[in-house]
Structure 1
Amino acid sequence: MGLALAAGLALVTGCTAEPAPAPPPDRGVPAGGFRLVAFDSCAEALRQLKTAASAYVGPWGFGPNGDALAFGSAERAAPAAAGAADAASTAAAPGYSGTNRHEAGADEPDLVKTDGRRIVTVQHGTLYVVDPATRRLTGELDLTPGADQFGGVEDALLLHGDRALVLRRDGWAGRFQPAVSEGGGRVVDAPAPDGIVGPQLIMVDLSGQPKIIGEYRIDGNLVDARQVGTTVRVVVRSAPRLNFPHRERATDEQRTTANREIIDNATADDWLPRYEVTSGGRTSAGRVGCDRVSRPAVYSGTSLVTVLSFDLGAAALGAGDPVTVIADGDTVYSNGPRLYVANDQRWRVLPILTARNIAPDPRDETTEIYQFDITGTGAPRYVAAASVSGWLVNQYAMSKWDGHLRVATTSGRTWGDRPNSTSSVYVLRADGTALTQVGKVTGLGKGERIYAVRFVAGTGYVVTFRQTDPLYTVDLRDPGAPKVTGELKINGYSAYLHPVGEGRLLGVGQEASGQGRIQGTQISLFDVSSPAKPTRVAQYHVRQGHSEAEFDPHAFLYWPAERLVVVPLTAHGTGRPSNVAVALRAGDGGFTEVGTVDHTSDTGGPEGLTPIRRSLVVDGVLWTVSAGGLKATSLSTMKTLGWLPTA
């Protein structure tokens, strides 16, 4: 259980810590607000963590089935733009595109990056550097020699000048090793107690042949990261490294008592994240200090969120200048000056509720949001926090504009024969150390859930779906009185929305029958110039198709100079290779198919085996990226200009 949060948060350094109220194991938001405070000492921090965790632990460990360390999914789809400036976020500079991102002022890690001078991609533990001018592979670096590079873990990177920072998800706080149960009973899994198990950050010098100049590893799982200028903020979620073995011949009460004894014998080293820094051939180890940790008034002690800061312009990575909160976190959003970390309780409550086919308790339906000031290059400064009802679909459900944070959520049961869900948009404003609600719109999509959100300046676009797809337009120009101004009902849904010019909005999702049965990828062009009467002016539909852009907006490319839309597409029985990137021109009246790109004929493998993952534009050339390599295609003729295999 993450921290249970209500609005009204104050960071009070050095204040007297009071005993942590023990949260009930099946409830979320406390009746009142809370304060975020520092601990008096490490001994006091450990005492309070034990008190909180002991109240929450059960016969099977943390969580309803002893699986709290699984944390839900850290790789939830990370979405893309918000605000008028965000419409051009894929056009990072004249002549080349960046990879798709939510806000123009905050870059996001992805499997490929370009600055116009070079293209850098990381695939299966190997980093490749491409010169787009000569269309040659100019550098290759094995990031972890001798390691298994095909474990299903995807790497990502950030780029600045001659430095690349690779973020490897090659470990997580819930990694397990066998633990023998009592009395020779069945063998169960338990968290590995020794060694740092978590994300690895690798700084690479690209000035010549790429070489590693620094490494950093920390306990936990990588949630996400954002880059502003040379500064990178990395958000990591961790758990106490406690081993709760299965006891075959014990009652639940005996198991819980034994688990509390394990907690009582734990040390600060079992709770606080450890890290290792390697630079210049030397490795140093450390641990997040108790003075770096803050807590709210109500928390479970089962998870911590740490924000790390690294300077890509520095000679070494350093220790990350950590800031830690005893909380959970699974969604990161930043507009540049501010960083928001949000978490909800779905991983904790939904397995039980779905199994019992019951609606969630409103006190469990909360999303907690922390706001940090990241305008400087030092450690983030905590600013404010809030709690809103409902759950986020992804980071695109948050947007900062004109001094206000807009948040879209879904509450209620979305499953079963009688769903009672509904969606809302909240408007929050920083008031001291609290993000205070100043306005809201509720009642969107009854019985449905949010599939996509996009905020463009003072307007919000919300897609909900169960059988049909209402596209709602929400007027947010008056933060204290937001209102729904229009609604468009069509079959299917959009899972990602992107502004493509004045009064135009593009959606990528699925077509569906009148009964809600999906029927393949659809790309829709909406006319939203009249907020009261949004209309769909064009549709591109591929039966039995699906696109990675539906769940990961990094796979989407919009090149404003050509009004060009490029998305990866997988479909069978269409008369074309089963995996392609389709390029469309979004005109005022509809779509024109410019062409398709495939990576099948050059890889030598079976037809359609290599899905295209990403697309970039550099100096009039469309670059597509797959696990097999990179292909250069002329934007004017759609003819192949070069193929660089990486497999």
Structure 2
Amino acid sequence: MKKLRWLSGTLSALMITAAAFLIFPPDSYATDVSNTSNSVSPPSTEPLPVIGTEEKLRQLLQKANEQQQAFGRDVMVFEQAVPAPTAKNAVPAMAEQRDYSATNVQVQGVDEGDVIKTDGTYLYQASGEKVVITRAYPATDMKVVKTLRFDGGNFMPSELYVDDSHLVVIGTSSTRTIPSKKASATEIAQPYYSPTVHAYVYDIRDKAHIAKVRELELDGSYVSSRKIGSSLYLVSSKYLNYYPFAERNQPMEMPVYRDSKQSEEYQSISLKDTRYFPDRVEPSYLLIGAVNLDANKEMKVSSYLGSGENVYASTDHLYVTLTQWEMQATIQPTVKMAGNSFFRVMPPSDQKSSIYKFALKADAVSYQGKGEVPGTILNQFSLDEHNGYLRIATTNGDLFRNDEHTSKNNIYVLDEKLAITGKLEGIAPGEKIYSARFMGDRAYMVTFKKVDPLFVIDLKQPKTPKILGALKIPGYSDYLHPYDENHVIGFGKDTIEAMDSKRNFAWYQGMKIALFDVTDVTHPVEQFKEIIGDRGTDSELLQDHRALLFSREKNLLAFPVTVMTLKPQDKEQNTASTDFPAYGEFSFQGAYVYSLDLKNGFHLRKKITHLSPDAAQKAGANWYDSNDNIQRILYIGDALYTVSPNKIKAFNLTTLTQQGELDLAK
């Protein structure tokens, strides 16, 4: 049985840190940074040069290594990109007439993979090393109709896509690789395991005869994917082992891919088909695969010497971003103190984000150009394409500094060629972005330090973005979701300020949900709020927007949550001066189901758990089977479903009385 134990984290995970708090004058929330902005490279729409030969690749990597070492660090690449978990109203990905919920996605018409999908009758669920297909409707007669297992036990499904014809199962497998050549006669070539993105495509038109029709493989670690209509786009990053190749003259292992529709053999991507970004060389390959699932054509793969962190897609373009950190190695870090805690403040760094733009076709992608903005990009919701412009929210500077290098937040507007055409810089000095959301001609941005400023930003004139208003309240929002054009829902944490005036941070507390009224954009207000649990309460929604179920038409809001509750004496301690606010004890894991309207605000209709009374009691002692954790909530027709790896429960959508239950652990 898989177990989960609640443990105390390190101090860095226990407090929300920040620089000295600044009070902004009411007419100015931004500072003039015209003389301090990072210099960025001009945009480029020129075709990228081809690497061509191993000697050219060796030269590029050597140059990159020298440049990185000049700034005090070796070449480094992270194969696994930070998700999601993340620029418009989050809406169902498929515009179906049937009354059922779809994945909460960022852009209408651009589907995102998730662990659970439905087509209005069946549930498709990635669970451990298998995919379970359940006939979920009607709710009173649920039944598992198919369990998909994968050969070799070397594949872990992580995301699914479903349409009328296909089920796509995406995950990662590991390949055991033996170097093709020893470095010397005395050295033994050590095998290593390299990750591969693997996608299985099934024909699901006949549920009685679900059949695998295609396998796709893309070298490297999974970064992200999108599906638009019948077109699937996969993004991976393959680490390039620089040192054996550059210093020992070992041959380079080239990236490969496979599409079983054409051949069972792996196809190698040659250096003649691999391009590089002249001003930014990374020791990894960025691979983008595109395939039309309805066409009998091979997956087309584009290969670039580079890597990616965040992926944003509109219906027309795919954007991949990468952060550049450049530090002065000659300046030593300083040690500072926050209360009883010490931390190192690094030398000033020049932070930039590169943005690579690709045009999306039905079965291919094509490079369009590169842009650059100062600062770092939080996640996919910090980017948005609107009326031909790309809007980006960034944070630059250092949060722990209180000089001219302190953190600042910015909005940039880029034209079709990725040139900066408008900017708003220096917002909320000393804070950093916790969430951003673009909605039409507006942007909503939450920064945080001790309180949560919600900024309303006007983007109607792309060349002159401006702040319309701001609201300061305790806590912060990790995710912003549109309710309508004048109201935004925030999901995050409540906070309390450290009582010691020398401390420049706040302690996070329970989960907070809030409805913001921005009808008067100059004076946004927190119309309603709800605090769930105490310190330690958490929800997958705060890291992954796909965990949210919301329907304004059905007056329905639901999400999974793990609730921690303080004892009365500890609750009193947390409101008094204390060095370390207490964590709550486990009290609940499951789904909170709310109604939400503009008159009554949040109303908790039901708490649903998959834990048995015995398991709940064990959970109170810090142990329980995490496969009972509710992952997603969705609806089909008049039924609401809660889904965990071990169980599916169904409830009447109107009364929330239970209609059915299916045990998946048998």
TM range (shorter): 0.7 to 0.9
- The SS at the match of 1:261 is helix
Per-residue deviation at 1:385?
A: 2.2
- The SS at the match of 1:322 is strand
The residue aligned with 1:274 is 256
The residue aligned with 2:287 is 306
Number of matched pairs: 577
**Relative to 1, partners in 2 of residues 1:33 and 1:561: Cα closer, same or farther, differing over 3 Å?**
closer
Which deviates more, 526-535 or 584-593? 584-593
The residue aligned with 1:21 is none
Q: Deviations over 1:254-301 (max 9, x none)?
A: xxxxx7422xx244x52x311233459x72111124443222222325
1:121 is the counterpart of 2:125: yes
Per-residue deviation at 1:213?
A: 2.4
The residue aligned with 1:327 is 306
Q: Is the 8 A contact 1:34 1:296 kept in 2?
A: no
The residue aligned with 1:595 is 606
- The SS at the match of 2:631 is strand
The whole-number CA distance in structure 1 between the counterparts of 2:45 and 2:413 is 22
1:18-29 matched pairs, under 5 angstroms: none
1:407 is the counterpart of 2:392: yes
Q: Deviations over 1:154-195 (max 9, x none)?
A: 61111122311111033499x999xx999999x9xx9955x7
The whole-number CA distance in structure 2 between the counterparts of 1:349 and 1:87 is 44
1:480-629 matched pairs, under 5 angstroms: 480-515=463-498, 516-542=506-532, 543-544=534-535, 545-573=537-565, 578-589=588-599, 590-601=601-612, 606=618, 609=625, 610-629=628-647
Per-residue deviation at 1:210?
A: 3.2
**Relative to 1, partners in 2 of residues 1:92 and 1:474: Cα closer, same or farther, differing over 3 Å?**
farther
Per-residue deviation at 1:353?
A: 7.1
The whole-number CA distance in structure 1 between the counterparts of 2:178 and 2:229 is 37
Structure 2 counterpart of 1:334, one-letter code = A
The residue aligned with 1:16 is none
Q: Is the 8 A contact 1:37 1:294 kept in 2?
A: no
Per-residue deviation at 1:57?
A: 3.6
Structure 1 counterpart of 2:60, one-letter code = A
The whole-number CA distance in structure 1 between the counterparts of 2:40 and 2:415 is 21
Q: Is the 8 A contact 2:154 2:174 kept in 1?
A: no
The whole-number CA distance in structure 2 between the counterparts of 1:242 and 1:398 is 32
The residue aligned with 1:338 is 317
The residue aligned with 2:346 is 358
Structure 1 counterpart of 2:259, one-letter code = V
- The SS at the match of 1:599 is coil
The whole-number CA distance in structure 2 between the counterparts of 1:630 and 1:523 is 26
Q: Is the 8 A contact 2:551 2:557 kept in 1?
A: yes
The residue aligned with 1:252 is none
1:382 is the counterpart of 2:367: yes
Per-residue deviation at 1:566?
A: 0.6
Q: Is the 8 A contact 1:474 1:482 kept in 2?
A: yes
1:628-643 matched pairs, under 5 angstroms: 628-643=646-661
The residue aligned with 1:248 is none
The whole-number CA distance in structure 2 between the counterparts of 1:243 and 1:200 is 28
Which deviates more, 99-108 or 59-68? 59-68
- The SS at the match of 2:161 is strand
The residue aligned with 1:224 is 224
1:297 is the counterpart of 2:264: no
1:198 is the counterpart of 2:203: no
**Relative to 1, partners in 2 of residues 1:625 and 1:348: Cα closer, same or farther, differing over 3 Å?**
farther
Per-residue deviation at 1:211?
A: 3.3
Which deviates more, 299-308 or 289-298? 289-298
**Relative to 1, partners in 2 of residues 1:291 and 1:69: Cα closer, same or farther, differing over 3 Å?**
same
Per-residue deviation at 1:321?
A: 0.4
1:443-454 matched pairs, under 5 angstroms: 443-454=426-437
TM-score (norm 2): 0.78
The whole-number CA distance in structure 1 between the counterparts of 2:367 and 2:549 is 34
Q: For 1:284, which of 265, 269, 287 is the aligned residue?
A: 265
The whole-number CA distance in structure 1 between the counterparts of 2:41 and 2:359 is 28
Per-residue deviation at 1:581?
A: 0.7
Q: Deviations over 1:16-70 (max 9, x none)?
A: xxxxxxxxxxxx9876665654556733xx3222101122347999997767243
The residue aligned with 1:24 is none
1:394 is the counterpart of 2:391: no
The whole-number CA distance in structure 2 between the counterparts of 1:506 and 1:382 is 36
The whole-number CA distance in structure 2 between the counterparts of 1:176 and 1:451 is 43
The residue aligned with 1:77 is 84
The residue aligned with 1:251 is none
The whole-number CA distance in structure 2 between the counterparts of 1:428 and 1:644 is 50
**Relative to 1, partners in 2 of residues 1:466 and 1:517: Cα closer, same or farther, differing over 3 Å?**
same
- The SS at the match of 2:497 is coil
- The SS at the match of 1:308 is strand
Structure 2 counterpart of 1:203, one-letter code = V
The whole-number CA distance in structure 1 between the counterparts of 2:45 and 2:185 is 46
**Relative to 1, partners in 2 of residues 1:366 and 1:65: Cα closer, same or farther, differing over 3 Å?**
closer
The whole-number CA distance in structure 1 between the counterparts of 2:67 and 2:518 is 54
1:646 is the counterpart of 2:664: yes
Q: Is the 8 A contact 1:473 1:531 kept in 2?
A: yes
Q: Is the 8 A contact 1:602 1:643 kept in 2?
A: no
Per-residue deviation at 1:96?
A: 0.9
The residue aligned with 1:51 is 59
Q: Is the 8 A contact 1:595 1:638 kept in 2?
A: yes
Structure 1 counterpart of 2:609, one-letter code = D
Q: Is the 8 A contact 1:114 1:120 kept in 2?
A: yes
Q: Deviations over 1:173-231 (max 9, x none)?
A: 9x999xx999999x9xx9955x7632111112222343322222222111100110000
Per-residue deviation at 1:328?
A: 1.7
**Relative to 1, partners in 2 of residues 1:38 and 1:420: Cα closer, same or farther, differing over 3 Å?**
closer
**Relative to 1, partners in 2 of residues 1:628 and 1:348: Cα closer, same or farther, differing over 3 Å?**
farther
- The SS at the match of 1:454 is strand
1:160 is the counterpart of 2:163: yes
Q: Is the 8 A contact 2:92 2:101 kept in 1?
A: no
The residue aligned with 2:444 is 461
The whole-number CA distance in structure 2 between the counterparts of 1:357 and 1:172 is 40
- The SS at the match of 2:484 is coil
Q: Is the 8 A contact 1:359 1:412 kept in 2?
A: no
**Relative to 1, partners in 2 of residues 1:412 and 1:301: Cα closer, same or farther, differing over 3 Å?**
closer
Per-residue deviation at 1:146?
A: 4.3
The whole-number CA distance in structure 2 between the counterparts of 1:284 and 1:184 is 33
1:76-95 matched pairs, under 5 angstroms: 76-79=83-86, 82-83=87-88, 86=90, 93-95=97-99
**Relative to 1, partners in 2 of residues 1:285 and 1:625: Cα closer, same or farther, differing over 3 Å?**
same
The whole-number CA distance in structure 1 between the counterparts of 2:382 and 2:556 is 25
**Relative to 1, partners in 2 of residues 1:483 and 1:55: Cα closer, same or farther, differing over 3 Å?**
same
**Relative to 1, partners in 2 of residues 1:346 and 1:583: Cα closer, same or farther, differing over 3 Å?**
farther
The whole-number CA distance in structure 1 between the counterparts of 2:64 and 2:370 is 24
The whole-number CA distance in structure 2 between the counterparts of 1:278 and 1:411 is 45
The whole-number CA distance in structure 2 between the counterparts of 1:33 and 1:90 is 34
**Percent identity between the two aligned chains:** 24
Structure 1 counterpart of 2:637, one-letter code = D
Q: Is the 8 A contact 1:164 1:205 kept in 2?
A: yes
